[in-house]
Amino acid sequence: MTDADLARYSRQLLLPGFDVAGQEALQAATVLVVGLGGLGSPAALYLAAAGVGRLVLADGDILESSNLQRQIVHSEARLGSHKADSAAAMLKALNSTVQIEAIPRHLVAETLPALVTRCDLVLDASDNFATRFALNRACIAAAVPLVSAAAIRLEGQLAVFDSARGGPCYRCLYPEGGDDSSLSCSDSGVLGPVVGVLGSLQALEAIKYLTGIAEPMHSGLLVLDLATLDIRRLALARRPDCPDCTG
């Protein structure tokens, strides 16, 4: 680590259990962020600020004005550009030492395994079941942990899926999938700080996993009602009949 690194990351280096080894672990890591919207925006910003060595940003959507209410990695100047490219520019401006790879297209199941294999951790900040299921299968095959979150209205949920350690997978939680329209912010609405909280928690779980500063949330589902600030942690077991992680 350089003197500049020691100064830049001094506040997290002071944390018990983090130290130089934790920073070096972050700098050696590659993290894939799928979706640079409301969840992926704060998650990617905090990972870049913390000094994750390489961030792979995947999103095929085009930035629209309605996104700016909650997708804080973007700006008015980048309206009309791909979200992956817009986020990459912002993260580079935030931390020029982080390597950024932008993938400005929608990921497909056929190419996900090769991409996930290059990464140490995956953040699922997508907005549809097809992508979530495909990511889940790719992470299981590559034995790569998956940090998943979702948010709508004033509610959200968070889970860390790590089947390599014997934990459940995303399909253990949603065995039959669901109606993607029920997850649409354009139909149901969402407050910006709600996705901000959930995306920040994704970044936190990623940093915990990569550095070992604390135990990530395994085999559990965090459910948040941010209207009442009711937060519950539910046990989540592996399904013996899951076709993805036990099939």
Q: What are phi and psi of 188, to 5 degrees?
A: -105, -20
Where in the sequence is the domain holding 154, given as residue range(s)?
3-235
Question: Which of 19-28, 200-209, 236-245 bottoms out in mean pLDDT, i.e. has the lowest?
Answer: 236-245
Is the residue at 126 inside a domain? yes
* Mean pLDDT value of segment 37-65: 98
Is the residue at 241 inside a domain? no
pLDDT score recorded for residue 189: 83
Residue 212's CATH number: 3.40.50.720
Which residues fall within 8 angstroms of residue 198, CB to CB, at 6 or more apart? 39, 149, 150, 151, 156, 157, 158, 224
pLDDT score recorded for residue 184: 62
Question: How sure is the predictor about 181, in pLDDT bands with cuts at 50, 70 and 90?
Answer: very low
Q: What is the pTM of this model?
A: 0.95
Instruction: Dig out the tokens for 21 from the structure.
Output: 């080894």
Whether the predicted pLDDT of 178 surpasses 70: no
* Mean pLDDT value of segment 26-48: 98
Question: Which of 26-35, 82-91, 92-101, 176-185 bottoms out in mean pLDDT, i.e. has the lowest?
Answer: 176-185
Average pLDDT of the chain is: 94
Is the residue at 242 inside a domain? no
* Mean pLDDT value of segment 167-181: 79
pLDDT score recorded for residue 179: 55
How many domains are contained in the chain?
1
Whether the predicted pLDDT of 211 surpasses 90: yes
Instruction: Dig out the tokens for 92 from the structure.
Output: 């580079």
pLDDT score recorded for residue 175: 87
Is the residue at 59 inside a domain? yes
Question: Which of 73-77, 86-90, 183-187 bottoms out in mean pLDDT, i.e. has the lowest?
Answer: 183-187
Is the residue at 135 inside a domain? yes
Judge whether 139 and 161 are in contact, CB under 8 Å.
yes
Whether the predicted pLDDT of 87 surpasses 80: yes
Q: What are phi and psi of 232, to 5 degrees?
A: -125, 145
* Mean pLDDT value of segment 131-151: 96
Is the residue at 187 inside a domain? yes
User: How many other β-carbons are positioned within 10 Å of the β-carbon of residue 158?
Assistant: 24
Is the residue at 243 inside a domain? no
3 state SS for 94-157: HCCCCEEEEECCCCCCCCHHHHHHCCCEEEECCCCHHHHHHHHHHHHHHCCCEEEEEEEECEEE
pLDDT score recorded for residue 17: 92
Whether the predicted pLDDT of 182 surpasses 90: no
Is the residue at 62 inside a domain? yes
Whether the predicted pLDDT of 180 surpasses 60: no
